[in-house]
Each structure stands twice: as structure tokens, then as C-alpha cells.
Amino acid sequence: MTTAEIRKAVLDILADIAPDEDLSDLKDDVTFRDQLELDSMDFLDIVMELRKRYRIQIPEEEYTELASMGSTVKYLEPLMKDVE
């Protein structure tokens, strides 16, 4: 997957777990929590959906990497580069 495709994959997950949110202006360098109504259960949903859709395993100590779109994509790039 390219960087743009990974970003799109994360956006698709966010659209499913936060269906009331407008994601069109989501800023990559601002934390999700500062832009969206997300709680800890939502972040677990992101982890679960990455596991289900792409078989990506994220260790609990690395959940903090999912703070913003920018940090998430950067974290996922090496893990998803071979995902088609």
C-alpha cells in the first residue's frame, strides 16, 4: 500500500467507528481526540479493524502511535507496505 492508500484505509475505519463525524477536513498533524469525539473504546476499534482488515498486530505499548492521522500513517507504513 502507498502512503495515500494507508491514509484512505484509516479514514475508512474512522468512518465506520465514528459515523456521525465529518472527516473531510481531518488534519494529519492534530490528534484525533482534538478533532473527533473518540474515547478509549474507539481506539481499540481502530486496532481491531486493522487486525481484521489487514492482519496488522499492534502491541498495546504502541497504541500511542495512533494519536493522529500523521503518526498513524507513519507507524503503519512499514507494516502495510506489502499489503495489497
Partner 1 sequence: MIVRRTDQQRIVITGVGLTAPNGNSLAEFRQSLLDGRSGVIEYETRYFGKTVAGVCNFDELRYQKRKEVRRGTRAGGIGIFCSHEAIADSGLDWQNVDKANVGIYVGVTEHGNVETENEIFQISGYNYDTQFWSHHHNPRTVANNPAGEISLNLKITGPHYTLGAACAAGNAGLIQGVQMLRLGECDVALCGGVSESIHSFGIFASFNSQGALAKHDDPTKASRPFDAQRNGIVVAEGGCMMVLERLSDAMGRDANIYGEIIGYAMNSDATDFVNPDPDRQAECIRLALKRAELDPDDIDIVSTHATGTTTGDTQECKALRQIWDGAGHTAMNNTKSFIGHAMGAAGALELAGNFGALRDGVCHPTINLDNLDPECELPGLVINQPKELGNVNVILNNSFGMLGINSVVVVRRI
List residues near partner 1 by CB under 8 A: 17-20, 37, 41, 44-45, 48, 51-52
Q: Which is nearer to partner 1, 6 or 46 (CB)?
A: 46
Angle, in degrees to the nearest 10, between helices 69-80 and 3-17? 120
Q: Which is nearer to partner 1, 42 or 65 (CB)?
A: 42
Q: How far is the CB of 2 from partner 1 (least distance, A)?
A: 27
- Which CB atom, from 19 or from 78, has the smaller least distance to partner 1? 19
- CA dist., res. 36 & res. 78, Å (int): 26
Q: Which residue has the cell 484512505?
A: 8
